[in-house]
Amino acid sequence: MAASGRFLITVTGKGGHAAMPHSAVDPIVMASSAIISLQQIVAREIDPLEAAVVSVTFMKGGDAYNVIPESACFGGTFRSLTTEGLSYLKKRIKEIVEAHAVVSRCTATVDFMDEELRPYPATVNDEGMYDHARSVAAAMLGEGHVKIGGPIMAAEDFSFYTQRFPGAFFMLGTRDEAMATAVHPLHSPNFVIDEGVLPVGAAFHAAVAMEYLNKRGTVAK
C-alpha cells in the first residue's frame, strides 16, 4: 500500500469587486492554475511504470457572486509506493504552488501538516509474515478463498508498525452479491458491511497469532 501525505494551500491576494478585477489580485485564478499544474506532475514527471497520485479534493474561496475574495484555499493528498517518490511529490507541490503565486502576484503558504497529521510510510509486507498469514488462511478457508492482491494506492497507519516489527497486511472481503446492500465500495455513502464475515475475521486473526506462537513453542500449555 502507498505512502501518503496531505497538503493545505492558502493563497492570499487582494479582494475587490468582480466588476473591477484589475483593482484586485485574484486568488481564485491563482489557485485554479496551480491545481491544473499539479496534475502535470504525475502525467509528465513520473515514470508511467511507477505509481503516483496527486489529488486535489477541495477548494474554498469567497461566498459572494460579485466579490473577488482576498484569499482562497485548496488541499488534498499525494501518494507513492516509495519513500523517495513521496519526497519528490512533496518537493514539486511546494515548488509549483510558490511559482504560481509569484506569477499571479499572490502569496501562498504550503502546509504539509507533518506534525499533526504525520505522512504515512508505505505498507510493505514482511515476506515471512506474509507466507505465514497466507498459509493459515489457506488451511482455514481453502486455497480458493485466498487471493493475492496487487499494489494499491490506499494508505494505512498500520505501516508505522511494520517499520518497527515484521508484519503483514491482509484484507477481509465483505461484499455479498446475495445482499443488495453489501455491494458498495468502502468509501461509498451506501456502504453496508456483511456482518457474517466478522466471525471469520476474528477467527483468522486468532489463528494467525496462535499458529505463530505454536511454531515457536511459546503458547502456554
Convert the pLDDT of each residue in 135-188 to its tens digit. 999 999 999 999 988 899 999 999 999 999 999 999 988 878 777 777 787 788
Write phi, then psi, for 57 (nearest 5 degrees): -110, -10
Whole-number Å distance between alpha carbons of 200 and 128: 23
pTM over 0.75: yes
Q: What is the largest CA-CA distance in the chain?
A: 82
Spell out the residues 6+ positions from residue 193 whose beta carbon is closer than 8 angstroms to its own.
174, 182
Cα separation of 24 and 28, whole Å?
11
Q: Please determine, for residue 17, whether its predicted confidence score (pLDDT) is greater than 70.
A: yes
Other CB atoms within a 10 A radius of the CB of residue 163 amount to 11
* Predicted local distance difference test score (pLDDT) of residue 221: 54
- End-to-end Cα distance, the chain: 38
Q: How many CB atoms lie within 10 A of CB 167?
A: 17
Report pLDDT for 65: 97
Instruction: Report yes or no: 11 and 30 within 8 Å, Cβ to Cβ.
Output: yes
Bridge partners (DSSP) of residue 72 are 11
- Give percent above pLDDT 90 in the chain: 81
CA pseudo-torsion sign 105, 62, 22, 40:
positive
pLDDT the model gives residue 219: 57
Q: With bands split at pLDDT 50, 70 and 90, how would you rate the model's confidence at 54?
A: very high
| 201, 204, 208, 209 alpha-carbon torsion, rounded to 10° | 70
For range 5-10, the mean pLDDT: 98
Can you give 174-198 as a three-state secondary structure string?
A: CCCCCCCCCCCCCCCCCCCCCHHHH
